[in-house]
Structure 1
Amino acid sequence: AKVLGLGGSTAPTTSPANMVQMWSEDIMADHAQLHYMAEGGIARPLGDFYDPRDWGLVPDDNSGSVPGDNVTAFDAMIGAMSAGDIAHFTKGTWYTNDDLDVTKGIVFRGDGQDTIIECEANSKNIIHATASGVTIETIKIVGTGQASTGGTAIDVSGANSGSYLSNIKIIDTDISLCARGIWGNFIEQFEFRGGKIIDMERSGIVLLSCQDGFIHDYYIEDVQGNNSADYGIAITRTVGAEATYPTSKRIDVYDNIVKDVTYWTGYDTHGGENINFYNNKAFGCYAGFKLSTDNDTANVIHAPINCDVIGNFTDSESDAGDTAYGIYLGGQTHGGTDYIATGKVLGNTVRRHGLQTGGGENVGGIYIAYTEGVPVETNTLIECVSSAIVVYGNNHGFITSGNTVVDVWGKSTGANEARAVSVGPGTNNKGYIGENSFRVTSFTAPANGT
């Protein structure tokens, strides 16, 4: 099936620097059903311990039939386990040549990053969880390479929209050399916390039709699929009927770092509801944060609703004027109907985002379009290209206030060389612009810029 490309709670009442400490209570009030997770994780009774070696799994050997034999032995061990039991993989490299199917709510545990699950076959779901109550923690997963055939490190998937998996935890698990890191379908009440995801071909973390969870404290680097489906963290849905593929809802993404997604977006949601991005960082990404519609014109279009982007940092790390938005929040129009986005863009820092070439003045460091009641306030934009803030069109009741724009630059010839705040060229913008600060320092624009 074709997958769509890839926000909130009450705004904090303090400065962005103190964001995480201050919004936690608000988040818990909005997501009371998740409170027990944030207060110490999903509680489970302590089950029995299983040593994979007792079931015939062999570490540190990828010769002959060992990888395949490990899969057979793993299936036998899972068959004997009950929900809550713990499969404890000791230090070493455990080879497989097929999916390790986790069909019960067990704990899949290693001894830290010296416990490695390495797949020897292409295009596998290396750990494939299809049960509620699964925990995967303190291991490292390695695929066959940074290519489309590299496989998916962890696939956690419910059967359909009527059968969500719940109580899923992925904790302190590193991933490398795969096509995709973590891939989730139809899951709820989850926590993904910590770990490094490095050298992916397509994505770090992608969730489709998921709800009520947290993604935090990840380091994701080098997603290089060379196309517009590359993401650090993306929350979306699959194209199709809404009842079959619902929007993703009530997910908080915070304290993550994403680096070097040079062909598309560091953080993304398409058509999400209450998808919030707090205190994240993006470096070297073509676009930092993009919150847009799912554009499912054959079925039903969803704009991002109540999606907040607060206290984040993004730097394209390019001086060439060849990147896209630092932060994009927008709906769209289709067939005479406007699909309106809502949310907040507050207290972010955006550096070196925007396009110098033709039409670049309509990209900008921060961009909003087809929105209602969106505040763009207390942001800092540094060395953005062509336009720092773009209020493109059909923004009703917007507020652009208290922002600081430093050294915006643009084309060396022609009109519209550099704009701190640009309204249009779309129409029907109604809102307030005031109390913003514009500064020029000793910064020298790159070649062909001014």
Structure 2
Amino acid sequence: MRKSSIIGIVVLILIGIFVLIVRYVGFNSKSTYVSISNVDTKELQQVISQSSFGDTVVLRGNQVISDTILIDKSDITIDGLQKDGSLAKLKTNTAIPIFTIKEGVSSVTIKNIILEGNLERENPKVYTKEMGINITGNTSNITLSNLQLDNFSGYGVYANLTKNLKINATKIKNFGYAGIMGFSVRNVEITNCAIGGALSYNLSSIGNHKIAYNVAFGRKSDNDIHKYPRSKDCIVKNSVIMDNVFWEGLDTHGGENIQFINNTIKNVKVPIAAVPSEVNGEDKYAPKDIKISNNVIETPSNELSNSVNRGIILSGTMKKSSDPDSKKEYATGVIRNNIISGYGRRDAYSQGKLLATGSIFLQSTKGARVSENEIFQSYYYGILAYYDNKDFKFEHNKISGLHVKEEVVLNEKRYPYPAGIGILSSKNTGQINQNDIRGNLEDPILEMRGIDILSKIDINVIATGNMFDKYIKIPYNQMEYDKDEKKYHSNPSYKGR
């Protein structure tokens, strides 16, 4: 270090606490580095509040804090990298955010720090006010890098009305309600992260479920779409999402241009869901332009296997017949080149009825594209178009392992007609082409089907070029072959589109 580059060294002894502030001048612009050891929250807050444009606050050692650290200055960096390569640690001893980025602040980086909350693993309870980092409204250009967030009973990271947020190389372990939650956020990029360990015992108003999310992008339950817009232009990629036996791994409620790409998902009840945003408990805003591609959804553990749900869900709004508002929003999106093993509900067949299930599940969609996915051992459909799906295309998917063993379903009750692709309810129109569907094993009890249409109400489906192995007893159920068009039709009188 050159002597000419030193502006000053100030040593302060405050109640036996040592604070060292060192200032450097760079060649082209001024920057300040503040090294702090063993200070309390108030003194750390003072250093941050007195920081200047471009300052870096370097944390040393471990601290237990009782007050939230407010980042109230723009263009600063908080860095916890130690001289030996380890990370500084901040632990809260009460249910508060460790860091809060103040409303209107921009260009903040937090990196190389361990943050720890108070979530009790033996008797976990949700306290949504406890979080690692709270990013408040109208903030922008926030970067979180190489962080470790452990044991927060609310959220690891909570962002509201934030834009241009980047989270990378970060591990979030053991959380109460969500690892990362974004409300009305825009341009969020989550890359190379590992997020797992949901310990929620929170009861949701949605079906009284105990729920938790690894990552979710949504909006507040409010009719004002301008005040609380959709989350938009967000991506989760190259990340590991794991260990959530309660609910959804990657989620959006009413988001737009949300992408889940090239992630590995392990031991999650509902791995990926794009569903409507609700207002007063009813569907309101459907997800738009969703892209779900190149993800690997692994076979769940034995402990979770009996309670897993659908693997990938794309759903628009559902309206009650009594609802005077006839407006309806359809979900739109692409589900492509994913690998899914062991999903669908093992309890889907109950009292002679089949519940909503499948490895890929569509409901109230328009123009959805489901292609080039590989699905193995699904309960009881590989791909299921449930209700009111307009102009879908299911193409070039490989679906195998339709054989369902008696000992691996609940109460040993198997649905007798598992199928590669199913059309379960009314108002479905689309094409099913060039799919490879295999049963894999012989079973005299099961009548395995290739493409299975269970409703005759407003169904117009065309199929061509699909392949089936010898264990598929009925390749096309409730479809007839048109010799002129060389296609199968769900409605023989329906001639093209």
TM-score bracket, shorter-length normalisation: 0.7 to 0.9
Retained in 1: the 8 A contact 2:49–2:71? no
> Is 1:231 the counterpart of 2:213 in the alignment?
yes
Structure 2 counterpart SS, 1:74: helix
Query: 2:318 aligns to what?
Result: 333
Query: 1:185 aligns to what?
Result: 160
Question: Where does the alignment leave 5 or more consecutive residues of structure 2 unmatched?
Answer: 1-27, 203-209, 444-497
Shift of the 123–326 alpha-carbon distance from structure 1 to 2, 3 Å rule, reads same
Structure with bigger helix share is: 1
Query: 1:396 aligns to what?
Result: 390
Query: 2:9 aligns to what?
Result: none
Choose 246-255 or 316-325, whichever is displaced more.
Answer: 316-325
1:156 is matched with which residue: 122, 135, 140?
A: 135
Matches within 5 A, 1:103-122: 103-105=72-74, 106-111=76-81, 114-122=86-94
Retained in 2: the 8 A contact 1:98–1:119? no
> Is 1:286 the counterpart of 2:269 in the alignment?
yes
Query: Number of matched residues?
Result: 381
Mapped partners of 2:377, 2:414: distance in 1: 19
> Is 1:98 the counterpart of 2:83 in the alignment?
no
Mapped partners of 1:273, 1:45: distance in 2: 40
Same amino acid, percent of matched pairs: 22
TM-fit CA distance, 1:89: 1.0
Query: 1:27 aligns to what?
Result: none
TM-fit CA distance, 1:355: 1.0
Retained in 2: the 8 A contact 1:351–1:383? yes
Retained in 2: the 8 A contact 1:142–1:177? yes
Query: 2:51 aligns to what?
Result: 81
Mapped partners of 1:418, 1:364: distance in 2: 10
Mapped partners of 2:290, 2:197: distance in 1: 26
> Is 1:367 the counterpart of 2:376 in the alignment?
no
Retained in 2: the 8 A contact 1:341–1:372? yes
Which AA in structure 1 matches 2:418?
Answer: A
CA deviation map 1:350-390 (0-9, x unaligned): 11111122255521100011111111111011111111111
TM-fit CA distance, 1:76: 1.3
Matches within 5 A, 1:20-419: 47-53=31-37, 57-58=38-39, 70-90=40-60, 92-105=61-74, 106-111=76-81, 114-130=86-102, 131-146=105-120, 147=124, 148-149=126-127, 151-158=130-137, 164-179=138-153, 180-227=155-202, 228-240=210-222, 241-297=224-280, 301-318=284-301, 320-334=305-319, 335=323, 336-357=326-347, 358=350, 362-410=356-404, 413=413, 415-419=415-419
TM-fit CA distance, 1:132: 1.1
TM-fit CA distance, 1:235: 0.5
Mapped partners of 1:270, 1:416: distance in 2: 34
Structure 2 counterpart SS, 1:264: strand
Structure 2 counterpart SS, 1:305: coil
TM-fit CA distance, 1:283: 0.5
Question: Where does the alignment leave 5 or more consecutive residues of structure 1 unmatched?
Answer: 1-43, 59-69, 159-163, 445-450
TM-fit CA distance, 1:149: 4.2
Shift of the 169–332 alpha-carbon distance from structure 1 to 2, 3 Å rule, reads same
TM-fit CA distance, 1:275: 0.6
Mapped partners of 1:380, 1:300: distance in 2: 31
Query: 2:453 aligns to what?
Result: none
Query: 2:15 aligns to what?
Result: none
Choose 299-308 or 349-358, whichever is displaced more.
Answer: 299-308
TM-fit CA distance, 1:428: 1.1
Retained in 2: the 8 A contact 1:361–1:419? no
Retained in 1: the 8 A contact 2:376–2:401? yes
Mapped partners of 2:250, 2:392: distance in 1: 23
Mapped partners of 2:30, 2:392: distance in 1: 52
Structure 1 counterpart SS, 2:93: coil
CA deviation map 1:67-95 (0-9, x unaligned): xxx111012112221232100113x2122
Retained in 2: the 8 A contact 1:98–1:121? no
Structure 2 counterpart SS, 1:52: strand
Structure 2 counterpart SS, 1:340: coil
TM-fit CA distance, 1:137: 0.6
CA deviation map 1:125-181 (0-9, x unaligned): 0111112111001111111224424820111112xxxxx211110011111111221
Q: RMSD across aligned C-alpha pairs, in angstroms?
A: 2.4
Retained in 1: the 8 A contact 2:150–2:174? yes
> Is 1:440 the counterpart of 2:417 in the alignment?
no
Retained in 1: the 8 A contact 2:92–2:98? no
Mapped partners of 1:191, 1:402: distance in 2: 34
Mapped partners of 2:415, 2:211: distance in 1: 33
TM-score (norm 1): 0.80
Which AA in structure 1 matches 2:439?
Answer: V
Structure 2 counterpart SS, 1:433: strand
Mapped partners of 2:45, 2:429: distance in 1: 61
Mapped partners of 2:228, 2:42: distance in 1: 34
Structure 1 counterpart SS, 2:279: coil
Mapped partners of 2:178, 2:283: distance in 1: 25
CA deviation map 1:87-123 (0-9, x unaligned): 0113x21221121111112101011683333334221
Shift of the 226–46 alpha-carbon distance from structure 1 to 2, 3 Å rule, reads farther
Which AA in structure 2 matches 1:128?
Answer: T
Mapped partners of 1:326, 1:45: distance in 2: 52
Which AA in structure 2 matches 1:47?
Answer: S
Structure with bigger strand share is: 2
Shift of the 220–413 alpha-carbon distance from structure 1 to 2, 3 Å rule, reads closer
Shift of the 89–360 alpha-carbon distance from structure 1 to 2, 3 Å rule, reads farther
Task: Name which one, 1 or 2, has greater alpha-carbon Rg.
Answer: 2
